Amino acid sequence: MKKCLVCVLSICILFAFVFSGCAKPTEQPKAFVAPDNYVTVVQVTINPTVNLYLDDKDVILAVEYVNDDAKECYEKVETQLVGSKLENAVNIVIDTAAEDGYFAENNKVTIDIVEAKQEDKKLSVITTATDTVKSAIAEKQIQAEVTLSDNAQKVVDDKAAADKAEADRLAAEKEAAEKAAAEKAAAEKAAKEKELKNPQKSLKKGVEYSSFKPGETDELLTGIHMKFKDNGEYSYSMVPYLNDPFGEGEFITYNGKKYYVAGGGGGGGNYSLTDEKIILTGAFEMELTMTVDGKLVIKTMNASDNFFKVGDTLSIQ
pLDDT tens digits, one per residue of 217-234: 889 999 999 999 999 999
Helix, strand, coil fractions of the chain, as percent rounded to 5: 40, 30, 30
Q: Which amino acid belongs to residue 144?
A: A
* Strand ranges across the sheet with 49-54: 60-65, 49-54, 40-45, 108-116, 145-148
Phi/psi at 309 (5° precision) = -140, 160
Long-range pairs for 215-222 at CB < 8 Å and ≥24 separation? 218/243, 218/257, 219/243, 219/244, 221/254, 221/259, 222/307
What pLDDT is attached to residue 9? Answer: 45
DSSP-derived letter for residue 31 is P
Contact, 108 vs 142, CB < 8 A? Answer: no
Contact, 39 vs 57, CB < 8 A? Answer: no
Please tell me the pTM assigned to this model: 0.54
Residue ranges of the alpha helices (H) in the chain?
2-22, 68-74, 78-81, 86-99, 121-139, 150-196, 199-202
Q: 265, 306, 316: which is closest to 284 by C-alpha?
A: 306
pLDDT tens digits, one per residue of 94-126: 999 999 999 988 899 999 999 999 999 999 999
DSSP-derived letter for residue 77 is G
The SS3 of residue 291 is: coil
109: left (phi over 0), alpha (psi -120 to 50) or beta: beta
Give the chain's length: 317
Per-residue pLDDT tens digits of the chain, which is 317 residues long: 444 444 444 544 444 444 444 444 445 567 899 999 999 999 999 989 999 999 999 999 999 999 999 999 999 999 999 999 999 999 999 999 999 999 988 899 999 999 999 999 999 999 999 999 999 999 999 999 999 999 999 999 999 999 999 999 999 999 999 999 999 999 888 887 777 789 999 999 999 999 999 988 889 999 999 999 999 999 999 999 999 988 899 999 998 899 999 989 999 999 999 999 999 999 999 999 999 889 999 999 986 667 889 999 999 98
Q: 296, 300, 306, 266: which is closest to 285 by C-alpha?
A: 300
Q: What is the CA radius of gyration of the chain?
A: 49
Q: Which amino acid belongs to residue 179?
A: K
Q: 111, 132, 122, 117: which is closest to 159 by C-alpha?
A: 122
What pLDDT is attached to residue 312? Answer: 94
What pLDDT is attached to residue 217? Answer: 87
Measured distance CA(176)–CA(195) in Å, rounded:
28
Q: 240, 238, 243: which is closest to 314 by C-alpha?
A: 238
Measured distance CA(152)–CA(201) in Å, rounded:
70
Task: Give the CA-trace dihedral at 9, 10, 13, 15, to 10 degrees.
Answer: -110
Q: 287, 315, 164: which is closest to 225 by C-alpha?
A: 315
